[in-house]
Amino acid sequence: MAYPDDRKYTKEHEWVMANGTSASIGITQYAQDSLGDIVFVDLPKVGSDIAAGKTFGSVESVKAVSDLFAPASGTVTAVNEELATAPEKVNQDAHGSWMLKITLSKPGELNGLLSAADYEKFVAEEAAK
């Protein structure tokens, strides 16, 4: 399983891809695979603030509800509206399906997140459990 190294990852299976102080956020291939058929994505409104490590929404498959944890703090500038009607896009392309775009309030937070290689190692350990 290849995780793109153009972004950072969390142990809660979110990714964050920064470009200056703006960043997009989504969930990983491992997360979508664990959830199964995704049927619902609940996201905050544009203009709301999210805080690193805190819940910002949820994603639901037929059988499970999973909280989404913010990989970094910031203000929401865009929400991927397509996921409201086509949540299965996350199953089809987790790394291409951004959920939120935010303006990072503490860009330095990204330094504490996992690289693609470290995340890949982490999920390999999770899968072996």
Q: Which residues bind another protein (CB under 8 A)?
A: 33, 36-37, 39-40, 42, 58, 60-63, 65
Write the CB contacts of 122 (distance below 8 Å, at least 6 apart in sequence). 9, 11, 114
Q: Smallest distance, Å, CB 93 to another protein?
A: 16
Q: What is the H or E stretch that residue 66 is in? A: strand 65-69
Of 85 and 111, nearer to another protein (C-beta) is 85
Q: How many CB atoms lie within 10 A of CB 68?
A: 25
CA distance 18 to 26: 12
Q: Smallest distance, Å, CB 114 to another protein?
A: 24
Q: Smallest distance, Å, CB 37 to another protein?
A: 5
Q: Smallest distance, Å, CB 64 to another protein?
A: 9
Of 67 and 118, nearer to another protein (C-beta) is 67
Cβ atoms of 95 and 14 within 8 Å: the answer is no
* Residue 28 backbone dihedrals phi, psi, to 5 degrees: -85, 165
Of 45 and 63, nearer to another protein (C-beta) is 63
Of 42 and 49, nearer to another protein (C-beta) is 42
Closest CA to 18 of 56, 64, 74: 74
